[in-house]
């Protein structure tokens, strides 16, 4: 073979490889895509996944299947995704528990940084500090004074050890120097029944789950946990406005792929979900749920995940919380 013929053949091979790679990227996705939700159906993560999944499915022309894999505080579903191929056909949607569990559950088999490619921060929502209506307090300052006057006598509900409703009150306790008793619940409806009846007195829960109770007067909101007031509760101050310096805690929702996802697939998926988040009907639905749309870059989520891991690791270490 002449040198000219060899070079020509090599050039043709290189062109063919590049074209095949380009066509492969353009063809994605060529089959159904799965989003693993590591919690039961009908919760906030499930609602977000199904709403966005439907939008992106219409654009891609491929089904997006929502796979609920509940258990172990979200670890069962996350572990499944960590072990999946990084080919763009399996994703994970998770809450801030993704950043918490690494400190709370020492024996988990995956690491949220090492084993995942962050895609984007989708949305967030503040929690709301609320009390039973029979408690004689109307603001955070009065709640702190009452708790200090009766150390350990007031109690607070949570949805379980290490849950956001648990950690958010522990952070509050630490910052203001009060002692209130933790009462974990396995069934959230029971915790709300006990809060409304006065069996427990305090709760910090995502606004998304509390709007109907607040608007009907069944619980009394004192402050929201985020850095800004919530559009759905504009008259309720933030914790910092109420005098709790340094307090900020939100429920947030991120999307991830197994580590090693090709950049061109990450970029396309990010673009499609960002577009879906900005459609009018999605924005309207999120607003009604009290969700603030983020649609961040993958780099922002990577940095935010690290910050949240460090923040809650400190709270867990200081309070001695253990999932065991």
Tokens at 159, concatenated: 């949805």
Contact 74, 98 (CB under 8 A): yes
- Closest to 42 in 3D by CA, of 176, 170, 142, 189: 189
Q: What angle do CA 84, 59, 87 make, to 5 degrees?
A: 20
**Beta-carbon neighbour count of residue 225 at 10 Å?**
27
Residues in contact with 90: Cβ distance below 8 Å, sequence separation at least 6, in sequence order? 33, 34, 36, 81, 84, 257, 258
Residues 249 and 242: their CA atoms lie apart, in Å, by 14
**Beta-carbon neighbour count of residue 72 at 10 Å?**
15
- pLDDT value, residue 26: 61
pTM of the model: 0.86
- pLDDT tens, N- to C-terminus, the chain (324 residues): 444 444 444 444 444 444 334 434 568 999 999 999 999 998 899 999 999 999 999 999 999 999 999 998 899 999 999 999 999 999 999 999 999 999 988 788 999 999 999 999 999 999 999 999 999 999 999 999 999 999 999 999 999 999 999 999 999 999 999 999 999 998 888 999 999 999 999 999 999 889 999 999 999 999 999 999 998 899 999 999 999 999 999 999 999 999 999 999 999 999 999 999 999 999 999 998 889 999 999 999 999 999 999 999 999 999 888 776
- pLDDT value, residue 324: 60
Residue holding tokens 């089904």? 63
- Concatenated DSSP letters of 45-81: HHHHHHHHHHHHHHHHTS-EEEEE---GGGHHHHHHH
* DSSP helix/strand/coil, 323: coil
Q: What angle do CA 109, 111, 117 make, to 5 degrees?
A: 125
Catalogue all structural domains in the chain, each as residue range(s) with its CATH number: 31-123+250-319 (3.40.190.150), 126-224 (3.40.190.10)
Residues 103 and 21: their CA atoms lie apart, in Å, by 40
Residues 312 and 165: their CA atoms lie apart, in Å, by 13
Residue 56 CA neighbour count, 13 Å, CB half = 25
Residues 274 and 272: their CA atoms lie apart, in Å, by 5
Which whole-number Å values give the CA distances from 64 to 56, 59, 112, 258, in the listed order? 8, 11, 23, 17
- Closest to 36 in 3D by CA, of 202, 318, 257: 257
Residues 32 and 38: their CA atoms lie apart, in Å, by 19
- pLDDT value, residue 188: 84
């Amino acid at each position: 073979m002449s040198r000219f013929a060899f070079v020509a053949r090599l050039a043709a091979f290189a062109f063919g490889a590049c074209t095949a790679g380009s066509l492969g990227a353009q063809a994605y996705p060529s089959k159904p895509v799965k989003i693993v939700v590591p919690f039961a159906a009908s919760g906030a993560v499930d609602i977000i996944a199904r709403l966005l999944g439907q939008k992106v499915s219409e654009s891609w022309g491929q089904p997006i299947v929502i796979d609920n894999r509940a258990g172990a505080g979200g670890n069962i579903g996350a572990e499944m995704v960590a072990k999946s191929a990084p080919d763009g056909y399996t994703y994970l949607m998770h809450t801030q528990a993704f950043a918490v569990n690494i400190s709370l559950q020492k024996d988990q088999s995956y690491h949220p940084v090492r084993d995942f490619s962050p895609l984007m921060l989708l949305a967030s929502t503040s929690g709301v500090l609320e009390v039973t209506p029979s408690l004689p307090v109307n603001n955070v300052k009065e709640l702190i004074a009452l708790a200090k006057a009766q150390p350990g006598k007031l109690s607070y509900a949570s949805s379980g050890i290490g849950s956001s409703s648990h950690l958010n009150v522990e952070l509050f306790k630490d910052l203001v120097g009060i002692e209130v008793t933790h009462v974990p619940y396995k069934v959230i409806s029971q915790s709300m029944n006990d809060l409304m009846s006065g069996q427990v007195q305090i709760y910090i829960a995502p606004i998304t789950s509390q709007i109907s109770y607040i608007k009907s007067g069944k619980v009394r909101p004192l402050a929201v946990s985020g850095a800004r007031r919530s559009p759905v509760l504009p008259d309720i101050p933030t914790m910092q406005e109420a005098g709790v310096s340094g307090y900020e805690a939100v429920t947030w929702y991120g999307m991830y792929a197994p580590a090693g996802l090709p950049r061109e697939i990450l970029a396309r998926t990010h673009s499609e979900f960002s577009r879906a988040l900005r459609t009018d009907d999605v924005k309207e639905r999120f607003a009604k749920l009290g969700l603030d749309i983020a649609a961040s870059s993958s780099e922002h989520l990577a940095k935010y995940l690290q910050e949240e891991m460090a923040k809650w690791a400190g709270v867990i270490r200081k309070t001695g919380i253990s999932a065991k």
